[in-house]
Amino acid sequence: MKGVLFFLGSIFRWPAQKPNEFFILHSYLLGIYGITFLLRNIGFDLSNLIFTVGLVAPIGYLIYDGLPLDCLNYKSAIERELSSQN
């Protein structure tokens, strides 16, 4: 339960700590949604595929860029957060 509460708190602290990343992520998601909406209105049949690939692409990029294997281990996440604050 401590891990769930820690990650929930991290999600609430993230927009205030790193607003640039927050706005970039949400503008990307809105852009993907907008592109999919336009393609669906035009009649393009692969709009669902483009939406899915657009949402999965950031996760694939993070894994390619070196996402730590212990990213969901709350003890190591706490240690990383405390070391970044000092």
Report, as ranges of residue numbers, the positions in the chain whose pLDDT lies below 50: none
Please check whether residue 75 is in contact with residue 45, taking contact to mean a CB–CB distance below 8 angstroms. Answer: no
Please check whether residue 70 is in contact with residue 85, taking contact to mean a CB–CB distance below 8 angstroms. Answer: no
Query: How far is 81 from 71, CA to CA, in rounded Å?
Result: 12
pTM above 0.85, yes or no: no
Helix (H, G, I), strand (E, B) or coil at 29: helix
The pLDDT, as a whole number, for residue 86 is 65
Query: How far is 3 from 40, CA to CA, in rounded Å?
Result: 40
